[in-house]
């Protein structure tokens, strides 16, 4: 089974590329951002709590996000492959995922890291904010905060997976199709 983490800063194109990988390989798409937005739309208690963090460009607490993944572990452990999109985002989440997968005798296959320069990220997020209506894409200050939080809390995962020999940088600039081809070709080598 394949467990692929699609990694990169906000605006790197994880959601778009995850969907294309899922279409190609027929894997399960697991986006914690989508799950959280679903909770907000359904006005659940979890959603109400999460919204405050999301709107501020902060991470939702680890226990909340890890709990959502735990609820899906039976599917995660039985499908042919999973694309993790926006998860894990902290070292604590990565360790929790490693432990959950070990319990079903699985493990992370690779971390595919989309590499995109800072100015390009801000440009893409502002454009997305105009069309998606996502509150966390609406202003430059929130976007910059998300990129800073990424650098402080999420980027350290690169070390974690490099030590495990699972880090694969992928050039994240170019057309959507070009980037998708790079990713698909990389996955075929794993």
| Positions in the binding site for ligand AMP (CB under 6 A) | 10, 32-33, 36, 53-54, 58-60, 65, 86-87, 89, 93, 136, 146
Q: How far is the CB of 60 from ligand AMP (least distance, A)?
A: 4
Q: How far is the CB of 183 from ligand AMP (least distance, A)?
A: 17
Cα end-to-end span (Å), the chain: 11
Which member of 37, 70, 124, 134 is catalytic? 134
Question: Got the DSSP string for 74-88?
Answer: HHHTTSSEEEEES--
8-state DSSP, 131: H
| Residue with smaller CB distance to ligand AMP, 130 or 181 | 130
**Collapsing DSSP states into helix, strand and coil, what is residue 179?**
helix
The H or E element spanning position 15 is helix 14-25
Q: Quick check: is 52 catalytic? A: no
| Residue with smaller CB distance to ligand AMP, 90 or 180 | 90
- For the beta carbon of residue 72, count every other beta carbon within 10 angstroms: 14
Q: How far is the CB of 102 from ligand AMP (least distance, A)?
A: 19
Q: Please answer whether residues 161 and 3 qualify as being in contact, where contact means their C-beta atoms are separated by less than 8 angstroms.
A: no
Cα separation, 139 vs 118, in Å, equals: 16
Which member of 128, 153, 182, 186 is catalytic? 128
Q: Quick check: is 14 catalytic? A: yes
Q: How far is the CB of 149 from ligand AMP (least distance, A)?
A: 8
Q: Please answer whether residues 60 and 50 qualify as being in contact, where contact means their C-beta atoms are separated by less than 8 angstroms.
A: yes
| Residue with smaller CB distance to ligand AMP, 136 or 179 | 136
Instruction: Name the residue whose CB lies closest to ligand AMP.
Output: 33
| Residue with smaller CB distance to ligand AMP, 31 or 180 | 31
Q: Quick check: is 89 catalytic? A: yes
Q: Please answer whether residues 76 and 87 qualify as being in contact, where contact means their C-beta atoms are separated by less than 8 angstroms.
A: no
Q: Which residues are catalytic?
A: 14, 89, 128, 134, 146
């Amino acid at each position: 089974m394949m467990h692929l983490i699609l990694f990169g800063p906000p605006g790197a194109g994880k959601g778009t590329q995850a969907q294309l990988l899922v279409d190609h390989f027929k894997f399960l798409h697991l986006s914690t951002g989508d799950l959280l937005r679903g909770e907000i739309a359904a006005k659940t208690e979890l959603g109400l709590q999460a919204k405050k963090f999301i709107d501020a460009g902060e991470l939702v607490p680890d226990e909340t996000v890890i709990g959502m993944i735990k609820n899906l572990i039976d599917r995660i452990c039985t499908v042919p492959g999973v694309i993790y999109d926006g998860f894990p985002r902290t070292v604590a989440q990565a360790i929790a995922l490693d432990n959950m997968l070990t319990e079903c005798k699985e493990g992370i296959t690779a971390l595919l890291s989309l590499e995109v320069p800072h100015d390009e990220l801000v440009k893409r997020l502002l454009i997305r904010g105009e069309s998606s209506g996502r509150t966390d894409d609406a202003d430059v200050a929130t976007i910059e905060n998300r990129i800073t939080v990424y650098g402080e809390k999420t980027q350290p995962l690169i070390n974690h997976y490099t030590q495990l020999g699972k880090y694969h940088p992928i050039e994240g600039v170019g057309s959507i199709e070009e980037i998708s081809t790079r990713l698909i070709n990389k996955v075929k080598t794993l």
